[in-house]
Amino acid sequence: MAELTSRQGGRVAVRKPQVYAWVQDYGVYAAVLALLLFNVLFTPHFLDASNFRTQLVQVTPIVIVSLGMALVIGTQGIDLSVGSVMALAAALTVLYLGYGWLPALIVAVIGGAVVGAAGGALVAYVGVQPIVATLALLVGVRGLANVLVPQLVEFRNPGLIALGSSSVAGIPVIVLIAAALTVIVLFVVRRTTFGRQVVAIGGNRSASELSGLPVKRVLLTVYVISGLLAALAGVLATARLQASDPTSLGLFIELSAITAVVVGGTPLTGGRIRVLSTVMGALLMQLLAATLIKHNLPQSWTQMVQAVIILAAVYATRKRGTR
């Protein structure tokens, strides 16, 4: 197939190579910008600080989860378990809240790392396909979270509530945390040996093995990081809700995260990671939903438009992926 599709790819690429390259690299930024501009012009109260804050707070969990997802997808993998990990983190947080919010947070994050390690071990050491390995975790871990905390539990721990609702210089703490995590992941991808190894493994696993890269360890680590980030997102979301809701927290967030990564131009075929574009992808989807709601278009529209955007983004970026 490679030969036949690359031939087709070649034919199109000859006609408009620059256009495709440009759309792939900057399309998501342009789309966010265009949407912002539209809102500034046509949406009343759009520029209010409170509106901005709401939008950012809402998108935070998706941004954090999609950072991990981008790493996983860069290795040619996928992590479907992130939503369930968020639920598990919510359950663990409320169970250990008696020891203080920080110990609870640490336990929750460790729980996420353990789930990530389980998925990573299945993928790296047993050789199970990422999609099935993490599907098993999606089902099982959600169940586990529900077994631990069968129904919604509200809490009044001031530390945790503060984490979810306080601001520094007008910017919510959880948004700052997401920004800091973005910077860290960006640094890891661009400037560390580990980051280079992740993309190399995604680009060609057997070549990486023969080049002496610790392939299995890197793969395992990537899933651990994804689990860790998802757990953190779960704790932050719980802090904001002021309630632990393992039944519905993080449902379908794996789809939103994959969407953000894909819309950001990271190919599902691996070997490339675009961190900032992934964050932009998440923002774009959030902004889109907000815009439609502000203009009194129902939720059904949002989903259909999202579907179109996913298709358009992948269609525009597929050329480089097939090469």
Of residues 304 through 323, those in contact with another protein by CB under 8 A are: 304-308, 310-311, 314-315, 318, 322-323
Of all helices (H) and strands (E), which one includes residue 107? helix 101-121
Let me know: does 280 contact 27? Beta carbons within 8 Å: no
Residues touching another protein, count (CB under 8 A): 80
When binding is defined by CB under 8 A, the residue of 128, 176, 241, 243 that contacts another protein is: 128
Of residues 60 through 119, those in contact with another protein by CB under 8 A are 78, 80
- Interface with another protein by CB under 8 A: which range of 46-54, 58-66, 132-140, 223-231? 132-140
Of residues 233 through 252, those in contact with another protein by CB under 8 A are 251
Pairing assessment for the beta strands 171-172 and 167-168 based on DSSP bridges: antiparallel
x/- binding map, residues 191-230, to another protein, per CB under 8 A?
Answer: xxxx-xx-xx-xxx-xxxxxxxxx----------------
Question: What residues have CB less than 8 Å from 310, skipping those under 6 apart?
Answer: 259, 262, 263
Q: Rounded to whole angstroms, how far apart are CA atoms 144 and 91?
A: 9
Amino acid 54 reads T
- Interface with another protein by CB under 8 A: which range of 59-67, 97-105, 153-161, 300-308? 300-308
Q: Which is nearer to another protein, 61 or 270 (CB)?
A: 270
Of 94, 110, 92, 124, the closest CA to residue 223 belongs to 124
String of DSSP letters for 220-286: HHHHHHHHHHHHHHHHHHHHHHTEE-TTTTTTTHHHHHHHHHHHTT--TTSS---HHHHHHHHHHHH
167 contributes a contact to another protein by CB under 8 A? no
Of residues 253 through 292, those in contact with another protein by CB under 8 A are 255, 258-259, 262, 268, 270-272
> Tokens 């779960």 — which residue?
234
- Interface with another protein by CB under 8 A: which range of 37-45, 103-111, 154-162, 185-193? 185-193
Of residues 25 through 64, those in contact with another protein by CB under 8 A are none
Residue 95 Cβ, how far from another protein at the closest point, in Å?
Answer: 15
Q: Which is nearer to another protein, 92 or 160 (CB)?
A: 92
* Residues making up the chain, counted from first to last: 323
When binding is defined by CB under 8 A, the residue of 33, 47, 131, 293 that contacts another protein is: 131
When binding is defined by CB under 8 A, the residue of 150, 166, 183, 293 that contacts another protein is: 150
Q: Which is nearer to another protein, 93 or 306 (CB)?
A: 306
- Interface with another protein by CB under 8 A: which range of 18-26, 168-176, 190-198, 221-229? 190-198
Question: Exposed/middle/buried for 319, CB within 10 Å: 0-12, 13-18, 19+?
Answer: buried
Provide the 3-class DSSP secondary structure of residue 294: helix
Question: Exposed/middle/buried for 222, CB within 10 Å: 0-12, 13-18, 19+?
Answer: buried
When binding is defined by CB under 8 A, the residue of 30, 102, 147, 183 that contacts another protein is: 147
- Interface with another protein by CB under 8 A: which range of 3-11, 26-34, 35-43, 237-245? 3-11
Phi, psi of 166 (to 5 degrees): -85, 165
